[in-house]
């Protein structure tokens, strides 16, 4: 999270003065392009227009004369197609945001390819969205670093969209608190319907992943937003996530109420399988056809019947994308077979990751796992160690030496 970005958003929200370039992004592109090609204002304006006229174009203080603009863009190696693209760039960005929310990556890719080579911040926001749509987190990070110094020059329209997708990037990186900070002060008066939906959806997902007690309240907010803007196709997935929350927190009645309102049979079957697993009724999960299970439920099934295949599925998905329902930390733990593997994983991986993500559910989950383990030597020491690590945040001062356990319970 960029604290200065948060401050900029807050100031604009309080002022409620729309900062918007009058003549589009063309002047920003000309300046960025000129600098990247190491051209001076004098050289670029020579025999085309006056120096002061070019300065006004770059600062978006005048609408450029098309004849002058054509010659300037020619000198900057910009085709007429690129110039037309620049004049339509605001509408293109709006359409790309919509394509992101409905999952149309092909449209986003097409629009990105059309503008490839442009230097302005609005096009780089499109590039950021494209990287996020294809789950290229490393690429998105590179674009975000490039955009960060430019936010103060952005219009309210652009900074609102940039802050949202910067927060989505933080979410994918597991920086959940940072993501919430990034969108805390999005200017309400500048929010498009799609941006509003994405913001509320992101806040709900962050609360779900962090297992925050008011997650159901945010579910209600995003559910109402889906109804308000007719995003009915996304309701069942939101119901899926809140049902997973209720499974985690043993809210039986709430879970039963929600699952009975879900229309998608695969989502419903997956939830039944997930609940069966955590209720230790694995035979029920094993009996469900793979075609009726999503990736998370299917992985839980293979943990029961083919641990090596489960590990392979987890590793493949872990490297490729982030899934808010796909809790890799717990899944990796569940593939540990011996008691030694489990203890080592909890203290060297599970609890440190839970601390890093500020995930209260994970902390309690691993503490409970330690408490019920058949460790015969220094049992209380390990329980205290788990509590201390979870709630002090200190993870580097413990001696992970040998310990004894009941081999007959090692499974």
Query: Would you say residue 281 lies in a domain?
Result: no
Encode the chain in three state secondary structure.
Answer: CCHHHHHHHHHHHHHCCCCCCCCCCHHHHHHHHHHHCCCCHHHHHCCCCCHHHHHHHHCCCCCCCHHHHHHHHHHCCCCHHHHHHHHCHHHHHHHHHHHHHHCCHHHHHHHHHHHCCCCCHHHHHHHHHHHHHCCCHHHHHHHHHHHHHHHHHCCHHHHHHHHHHHHHHHHHCCCHHHHHHHCCCCCHHHCCHHHHHHHHHHHHHHHHHCCCCCHHHHHHHHHHHHHHCCCHHHHHHHHHHHHHHHHHCCCHHHHHHHHCCCCCHHHHHHHHHHHHHHCCCHHHHHCCCHHHCCHHHHHHHHHHHCHHHHHHHHHHHHHHCCCCCCCHHHHHHHCCCCHHHHHHHHHHHHHHHHHHCCCHHHHHHHHHHHHCCCECCCHHHHHHHHHHHHHHCCCCCCCCCCCCECHHHCC
When the pLDDT of each residue in the chain is averaged and rounded to a whole number, the result is 84
Query: Would you say residue 162 lies in a domain?
Result: yes
Query: Would you say residue 332 lies in a domain?
Result: no
pTM for this prediction? 0.81
Instruction: Reply yes or no on whether the pLDDT at 405 is more than 80.
Output: no
Domain count, the chain: 2
> Which residue, 141, 175, 190, sits at the end of a domain?
190
> Which residue, 139, 163, 190, sits at the end of a domain?
190
Query: Would you say residue 89 lies in a domain?
Result: yes
Query: Would you say residue 350 lies in a domain?
Result: yes
> Which residue, 169, 190, 211, sits at the end of a domain?
190
Query: Would you say residue 220 lies in a domain?
Result: no
Expressed as residue numbers, the domain containing 93 is: 1-190
Query: Would you say residue 231 lies in a domain?
Result: no
pLDDT tens track for 374-384? 766 667 778 88
Query: Would you say residue 1 lies in a domain?
Result: yes
pLDDT tens track for 149-200? 888 878 888 888 999 999 999 998 888 888 888 887 776 656 788 999 999 9
């Amino acid at each position: 999270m960029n604290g200065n970005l948060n401050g900029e958003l807050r100031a604009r929200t309080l002022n409620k003065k729309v900062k918007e370039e009058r003549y589009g992004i063309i002047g920003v592109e000309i300046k960025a392009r000129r600098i990247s090609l190491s051209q001076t204002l004098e050289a670029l304006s020579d025999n085309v227009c006056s120096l002061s006229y070019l300065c006004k174009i770059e600062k978006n203080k005048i609408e450029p004369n098309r004849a002058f603009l054509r010659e300037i863009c020619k000198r900057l190696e910009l085709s007429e197609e690129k110039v037309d693209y620049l004049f339509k760039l605001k509408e293109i960005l709006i359409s790309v945001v919509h394509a992101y929310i409905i999952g149309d990556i092909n449209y986003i890719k097409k629009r990105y390819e059309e503008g490839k080579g442009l230097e302005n911040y609005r096009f780089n926001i499109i590039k950021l969205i494209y990287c996020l749509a294809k789950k290229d987190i490393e690429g998105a990070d590179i674009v975000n670093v490039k955009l960060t110094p430019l936010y103060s020059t952005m219009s309210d329209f652009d900074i609102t969209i940039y802050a949202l997708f910067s927060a989505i990037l933080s979410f994918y990186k597991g920086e959940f608190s940072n993501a919430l900070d990034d969108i805390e002060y999005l200017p309400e008066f500048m929010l498009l319907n799609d941006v509003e939906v994405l913001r509320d959806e992101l806040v709900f997902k962050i609360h779900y992943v962090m297992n925050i007690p008011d997650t159901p309240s945010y579910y209600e907010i995003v559910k109402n937003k889906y109804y308000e803007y007719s995003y009915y196709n996304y309701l069942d997935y939101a119901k899926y996530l809140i049902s997973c929350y209720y499974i985690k927190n043993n809210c039986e009645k709430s879970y039963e109420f929600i699952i009975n309102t879900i229309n998608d049979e695969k989502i419903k079957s997956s939830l039944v399988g997930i609940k069966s697993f955590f209720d230790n009724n694995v035979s029920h999960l094993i009996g469900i056809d793979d075609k009726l299970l999503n990736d998370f439920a299917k992985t839980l099934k293979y943990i029961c019947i083919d641990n090596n295949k489960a590990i392979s599925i987890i590793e493949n998905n872990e490297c490729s994308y982030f899934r808010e329902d796909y809790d890799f930390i717990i899944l990796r733990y569940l593939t540990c077979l011996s008691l030694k593997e489990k203890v080592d994983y909890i203290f060297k991986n599970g609890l440190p990751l839970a601390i890093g993500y500020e995930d209260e559910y994970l902390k309690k989950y691993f503490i409970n796992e330690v408490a019920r383990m058949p460790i015969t030597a220094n049992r209380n020491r390990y329980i205290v160690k788990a509590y201390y690590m979870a709630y002090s945040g200190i993870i580097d001062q413990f001696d992970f030496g040998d310990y004894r356990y009941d081999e007959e319970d090692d499974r």
